[in-house]
Each structure stands twice: as C-alpha cells, then as structure tokens.
C-alpha cells in the first residue's frame, strides 16, 4: 500500500562555490540523474567520506547525497531550541525547503518525492547534522556559543538527502507529493 | 550501530540476451556504476514498468534494479514449496547466488553488500515475484501446473535487487559482507 502526503516547495536553492556550502535561492532548477547541474553536490560519483564507513576515504562511490531537503517546521524547531529567531535553509546548505510535512527527517528510506514537472526524487535517509552549518549560524547570529549547540539542536530535524530518480524541474511554489510504500 | 553478517558467493551469473532472462554462470564479473556490463539489466537508466507506479510506463528513470541476488536457502524453500528437487538461480534470472544468509529477501533497503575486491552494492529491496521464472520452471520441470504455483511459492523468498555503489569484481567463492545500519 502506498501512503501519499502533499507538501509545498517554499524555496529552491543551490551553490556553485565548492568552498562554501551556503546556498542561494532561485526560481527553479532542472535536475538530472546526477543532481542539480553546477551545484557543489552535483555528480554521479562522490568521494566516500566519514559517512560512508564501508569504503576507504576518498574512494569514488555512487552519489546518493545529490540534494538536501529541509522543512520550514523543523527549521523552526531548531531555531526554538537554539533560542534564535530563525534558521534559514541557506545556512544549512539546503537545496529545497518544503512546508506541510513537518517531520520530514523521519521520512523513510526509499520514499518518493514527486514534482508536477514529472521529476522524481528518492529519499536516501536522514541528513546527519555536521559542524558546517553550526559555524555559519554562530556567525550569522553573532553568537559564538551557538556553534557548540547546533548539532544537538538539529538532531532528527536536519532534513533528508535525496538522489534523482527521474529528471525534470523543481519550481518554487510547486506541490510536492510524498509517496511512502508500506509493506 | 552497524550489524555485519558474512555470506559466500556461490555463483555469479548474467545474460546478454534481451529476450531471455535465464542467466548463465561465469567465474566473475566486473560491475560499474550501471551494473554488469552487457547484462540485460545493465544501464544507468531503465524504462519505468509496473513496479514504478509513480511514473508513466516507459519513462526513463534511474535503474535501481541492476543486479538480482538470491540465496541457496530460499531457493530450497521455493523448491520444497513447489514439490520439486531444486530451483536454479539461472531460472530466476539471478546474477548472484549466495549462501550463509538464509533470509536474504528480508534484508532491509539500504543495507550494503561488500566484496573483497572493494566492490559495494546497495540493497534496493525485495524482488517481487513475476511470472517470467514461473514459465521457465514449468518448462524445465516438464510440469505445466507449476506455473500457477510459482508466484505464491516464491513470495518473500525471491531475493533482492541491488544497485552498484562502488565498482569492482564479484567472484565465485568470494566472501560477501552484509552490513545493516540500525538506528
């Protein structure tokens, strides 16, 4: 049985700068089988890092972390936990911000995210918090103490990573269908 | 936490014939990011079929069904259920036959299958029984009544499909490490 949920694409973002993961807003992107062309996470292959413990670090493996997606609701939860006004998707390096499906981070592996254009993404699981956004948030909020608090505040709220199953456009304002197969 | 299990690669198989899914044994294959070169399931893309209900039939999508893997133990269970001597991996169109991890079909989505060569596969879930092998088995056993019984006998025993995460060799006699991440 397939359960379906509707959400809204609030923002689409990317960055071309390999040295800065902070993303910038666009009206839309066209994804292909390797992600968002020119984005820093674009590619069929990526070097294995600390998250892929099964392989020697730096070994080229299939890139299943092509896009990262966060929810408005979880960003608000992180902000509340940190005692700050807001957490922007840019600071998290997110590529898509959605609303209407609050517990995005809990979306199961293999769930589909389907766009009106025909584009389809596969949920590759939770995006584990790392220290990059912590430094950005501490700097943006001019509060160095936030850096140490971020990873804990963002645990289970950091959204998901996805890979592209079917090429097409992702547009701001789109309806996003989340499809979860239950056995 | 990561749970690890060891299994043995009993056979490696493929077929180049697009009109016949029955596979043939080899000593080894070299997989790349699209599967087993020249195998009928090889490709970064595949046309969506009845299993990918989210897309129009025939639409080109990412190929997550590059290899199929079955276990000796589950093949024996199917044979017993059908009342026949044996079910060969060739008849199921399998690419890899393993032993030592009996309930392969239950392996969770996202589990890793790691070979001594450095090659790594990702479990893309259960391979749902279809009627192709049923016809082959009925013919091989000269017993037409088996055709109608196969799908039920093979339910939850048909093995898994995988995609390649890291290129390398899969050799007969290899030790296969199954790694399951538990949250």
Could you list the pLDDT tens digit for every one of the 183 residues in chain A? Answer: 889 999 999 999 999 888 888 999 999 999 999 999 999 999 999 999 888 888 999 999 999 999 999 999 999 999 999 999 999 999 999 999 999 999 999 999 999 999 999 999 999 999 987 778 999 999 999 999 999 999 899 999 999 999 999 999 999 999 999 999 876
Angle at B6 between CA B36 and CA A123, to 5 degrees: 60
**Residue numbers in B near A48 (CB within 8 A):** 166
Would you state the structure tokens that stand for residue A58, as one six-digit string?
């730096």
**Residue B163 C-alpha, separation from nearest chain A C-alpha, in angstroms:** 9
Query: Between chains, do A164 and B62 touch, taking CB under 8 Å as contact?
Result: yes
Q: Is A179 on the interface with B (CB under 8 A)?
A: yes
CA dist B81 and A165 (Å) reads 36
Say yes or no: ipTM exceeds 0.85: yes
**Residue numbers in B near A44 (CB within 8 A):** 33, 44
Window from A27-36, B35-44, B126-135 with minimum mean pLDDT: B126-135
**Residue numbers in A near B33 (CB within 8 A):** 44-45, 62
Query: Between chains, do A62 and B125 touch, taking CB under 8 Å as contact?
Result: no
Q: Is A148 on the interface with B (CB under 8 A)?
A: no
**Residue numbers in B near A166 (CB within 8 A):** 48, 55, 59-62
């Amino acid at each position: 049985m397939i359960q379906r949920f509707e959400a809204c694409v609030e923002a689409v973002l990317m960055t071309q700068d390999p040295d800065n993961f902070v993303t910038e807003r666009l009206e839309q992107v066209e994804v292909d089988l390797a992600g968002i062309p020119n984005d820093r996470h674009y590619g069929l292959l990526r070097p294995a890092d600390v998250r892929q413990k099964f392989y020697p670090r730096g070994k080229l493996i299939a890139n299943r972390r092509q896009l990262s997606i966060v929810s408005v609701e979880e960003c608000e939860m992180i902000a509340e936990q940190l005692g700050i006004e807001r957490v922007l998707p840019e600071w998290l390096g997110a590529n898509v911000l959605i609303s209407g499906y609050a517990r995005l981070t809990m979306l199961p592996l293999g769930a589909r995210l389907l766009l009106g254009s025909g584009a389809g993404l596969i949920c590759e699981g939770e995006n584990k918090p790392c220290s990059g956004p912590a430094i950005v948030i501490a700097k943006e909020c001019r509060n160095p103490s936030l850096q140490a608090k971020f990873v804990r505040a963002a645990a289970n709220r950091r959204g998901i990573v996805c890979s592209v199953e079917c090429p097409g456009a992702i547009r701001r304002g789109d309806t996003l269908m989340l499809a979860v197969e239950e056995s």
